Amino acid sequence: MTPGARRVLAAAGRLFYARGIHAVGVDLIAAEAGVTKKTLYDRFGSKDQLVVEYLADRDERWRAFLADRLQQVEPGSADRVLAVFDASRAWMTDSSPRGCAMINASAEISDPDHPAYPVITGQKTWMLDLFAELVREFHPTGAEELARTLLLLHEGALVAHGLRTFPDPIGHARDQARTLLDRA
């Protein structure tokens, strides 16, 4: 990726997340990146494709962030599940006050044929599979069902975080996940 393209992706990431996808025009992104629209379209082809790369990039960075946190907890431990919630809280606390970028994007993209749609649903099913895998490591029976519950708690916490429904919802979800795991 060229330096200009990198700056475009960085600017798009900031603006799309902070103000929403439809609310941000390509002129603003190009200006914020110190780049002309020509460069933007030469590198990304269309706004839709830029949206795809914005979400894919954010997803990639989140998975790397999470993998780093997970490897600090020994495999087979129930604490690995809690580490996911801890990672989410850390990720959200600094610089993600508006909740999950995938959920927000899906609210703006109604068309299921939009090229960004698989990126969004892909992250969610990946998270579901991750929970199932982590649970299966120490408690194989009923891992699927427990994983679904954990996912609901996690998604709900992200939403409540963005809406500020009550303080520290991700921490609360983590505590509930702990008692769920203790009882399993």
Stretch that binds DNA, among 22-30, 63-71, 72-80, 87-95 (CB under 7 A): 22-30
Site residues for a second copy per CB under 8 A? 18-20, 22-23, 98-99, 103-110, 120-121, 124-125, 128, 145, 148-149, 151-157, 159-160, 162-166, 169, 172-173, 176, 183
Contact 80, 70 (CB under 8 A): yes
- The distance of closest approach from Cβ of residue 13 to a second copy in the complex, given in angstroms and rounded to an integer, is 14
Among residues 10, 14, 20, 28, the one that binds DNA under rule CB under 7 A: 28
How far, in Å, CA of 184 to CA of 101, rounded? Answer: 32
Q: Does residue 63 bind DNA (CB under 7 A)?
A: no
Of the two residues 5 and 150, which places its CB atom closer to DNA in the complex?
A: 5
Nearest C-alpha neighbor of 153 from the set 135, 167, 134, 172: 172
Q: Does residue 32 bind DNA (CB under 7 A)?
A: no
- The distance of closest approach from Cβ of residue 100 to DNA in the complex, given in angstroms and rounded to an integer, is 22
- Cα first-last separation, the chain: 47
- The distance of closest approach from Cβ of residue 41 to DNA in the complex, given in angstroms and rounded to an integer, is 5
Interacting residues of 57 by C-beta distance below 8 A, sequence separation 6+ = 9, 13
Nearest C-alpha neighbor of 176 from the set 156, 139, 150: 150
